[in-house]
């Protein structure tokens, strides 16, 4: 039986001319117009035949595209035709092939979430940005947090918490006053949302090898939902999160305004 070849690594991709492009776009009028214009100018191959994927929209489309083509070996280059574009490059039609040839390629690994419901069923999902737990009612959530099998926080009373990747550290995590992580950092951000007890706890930075287990205390009275990016599971009793060791995506940024530069700009914003 023939086995498929392993995905190409960033250094190998840089040595290949990225001439065959597959364009994908969100449903907005602006993104669809860009799709038509760029397809006419550069052609539009199927994803299977393309050297790279160009996503036209906002961060939501980039996440969808990364999820859809995880471990395909196809690098994804986003151009902003949406309202939020931290993961996107500036939209310009001229010189696209030259920009792709010079772009930085970064490997990102998703989080694997396993959530157990009140009925005992188990659900699994991937998160490129973050896994978030949120209270479902007016009652604050009570969470017990373990890292690598050891209880680190016996009780966190809060609206919820976030476990964010470097790619997701500038999204929901940042809005909850969590730390911004460089895209190449081997870290995860564990950030509380409106912590009531312990009131002064601001979260933790964890190695990306950490396995995080969150037990919902008194789930009948204080129900909690768990979300992996855009997938939500309600009435969970236990959630396990760890970075995948088997899946990866490839994201491209312009070399003159890459992720590191965006991170520094955001860190010094006031």
Please compute, for residue 56, the number of CA atoms within 13 A of its CA located in the half-sphere on the CB side: 23
Give 262's contacts (C-beta < 8 A, 6+ positions apart).
Answer: 86, 170, 253
- The answer to whether residues 44 and 152 belong to one domain is no
Residue 39, annotated ligand binder? no
Structural domain including 33 reads 10-108+248-267
Residue 206, domain CATH:
2.60.200.30
The tokens for 85 are 């574009």
| Strand 76-80 to 249-253 pairing | parallel
Residue 104, annotated ligand binder? no
Active-site annotation holder among 59, 213, 229, 254: 59
Residue 71, domain CATH:
3.40.50.10330
Residue 2 has a pLDDT of: 43
59 in catalytic set = yes
User: How many residues are there in the chain?
Assistant: 270
Residue 51, annotated ligand binder? no
Say if residue 51 is preceded by a cis peptide, omega within 30 of 0.
no
Residue 16 has a pLDDT of: 64
Spell out the per-residue pLDDT of the chain, length 270, in tens. 444 445 555 554 555 668 899 999 999 999 999 999 999 999 999 999 999 999 999 999 999 999 999 999 999 999 999 877 788 999 999 999 999 999 999 899 999 999 999 999 999 999 999 999 999 999 999 999 999 999 999 999 999 999 999 999 989 999 999 999 988 899 999 999 999 999 889 999 999 999 999 999 999 999 999 999 989 999 999 999 999 999 999 999 998 766 677 777 777 776
- The answer to whether residues 49 and 97 belong to one domain is yes
- The answer to whether residues 124 and 99 belong to one domain is no
Query: Cα(197)–Cα(58) distance, rounded to whole angstroms?
Result: 36
């Amino acid at each position: 039986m023939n086995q498929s070849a392993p995905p190409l690594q960033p250094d190998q991709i840089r040595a290949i001319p990225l001439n065959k492009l597959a364009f994908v776009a969100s449903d907005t009028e602006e993104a669809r117009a860009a799709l038509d214009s760029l397809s006419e100018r550069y052609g539009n191959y199927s994803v299977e035949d393309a050297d790279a994927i160009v996503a036209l929209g906002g961060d939501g489309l980039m996440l969808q595209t990364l999820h859809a083509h995880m471990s395909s070996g196809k690098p994804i280059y986003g151009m902003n035709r949406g309202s939020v574009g931290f993961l996107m490059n500036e939209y310009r039609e001229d010189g696209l092939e030259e920009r792709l040839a010079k772009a930085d390629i970064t490997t990102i690994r998703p989080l694997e979430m396993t959530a157990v419901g009140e009925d005992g069923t188990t659900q699994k999902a991937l998160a490129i940005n973050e896994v978030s737990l949120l209270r479902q009612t007016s009652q604050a959530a009570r969470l017990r947090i373990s890292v690598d099998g050891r209880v680190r926080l016996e009780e966190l009373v809060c609206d919820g918490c976030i476990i964010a990747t470097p790619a997701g550290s500038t999204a929901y995590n940042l809005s909850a006053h969590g730390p911004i992580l460089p895209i190449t950092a081997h870290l995860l951000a564990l950030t509380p949302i409106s912590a009531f007890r312990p009131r002064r706890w601001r979260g933790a930075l964890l190695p990306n090898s950490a396995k995080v287990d969150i037990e919902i205390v008194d789930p009948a009275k204080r129900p909690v939902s768990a979300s992996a990016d855009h997938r939500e599971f309600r009435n969970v009793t236990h959630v396990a999160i760890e970075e995948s060791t088997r899946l990866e995506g490839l994201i491209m940024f312009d070399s003159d305004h890459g992720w590191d530069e965006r991170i520094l700009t955001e860190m010094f914003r006031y």
